[in-house]
Amino acid sequence: MKNIHVSTTVNGDPTEFICAPDESLLDVLRDRLRLTGSKEGCGSGDCGACSVMVDGRLVCSCLVLGAEAEGAKIETIEGMAKGDDLHPLQQHFIDGAALQCGICTPGILVAAKALLEKNPNPTDTEVRYWLAGNLCRCTGYDKIIKAVQAAAAEMRGA
């Protein structure tokens, strides 16, 4: 298999990598770029732990080829906090104890951020449907929904 050279942008930084043609973007992020925030829960698009933004769209990075990142803008959980300042979603997940093991958390944060950019004032039902592709084995979804709503309220006020 001939490796492919890819030029892309990750969290605003121009980035280059070499990957195999059948390598997923998730594997590239974790194993080649050492951005291990995105998790692999299933590898088949079901759990959302690998959620990232590609050209402004929320996707499962386990279902994107690394090669497809050529010329694209990738945003991952690592780009969410600004230095030491946590994003309101991150802060409210901590304050509201909306995580336990934390495997699902990066994906949920990336997905929730995408929701609030599109819809700053969602109903609980809208949050639940938007996050239906993000599975959590530990926390129970109520705390997650509450944390998203608390962050949304803060962001609307700011």
Among 3, 5, 21, 46, indicate the residue that binds ligand FAD (CB under 6 A).
Answer: 46
Q: Are 8 and 71 in contact (CB under 8 A)?
A: yes
Q: What gap in Å lies between CA 118 and CA 108, rounded to an integer?
A: 15
For ligand FES, which is the closer residue by CB, 82 or 146? 146
For another protein, which is the closer residue by CB, 50 or 99? 50
Q: Sign (positive/negative) of CA torsion 49, 8, 87, 117?
A: negative
- Residue 82 in the binding site for another protein (CB under 8 A): no
Q: What gap in Å lies between CA 133 and CA 46, rounded to an integer?
A: 6
Q: Which does 49 bind (CB under 5 to 8 A by kind): ligand FES, ligand FAD, another protein, none?
A: ligand FES
Q: Give the shortest CB-35-to-another protein separation in angstroms.
A: 18
Q: Sign (positive/negative) of CA torsion 118, 61, 105, 90?
A: negative
- Residue 31 in the binding site for another protein (CB under 8 A): no
Find the helix or strand (DSSP H, E) in which 145 lies.
Answer: helix 141-157
- Residue 55 in the binding site for ligand FAD (CB under 6 A): no
- Residue 101 in the binding site for another protein (CB under 8 A): no
Please give the single-letter amino acid code of residue 43. Answer: G
Site for ligand FAD, rule CB under 6 A:
45-46
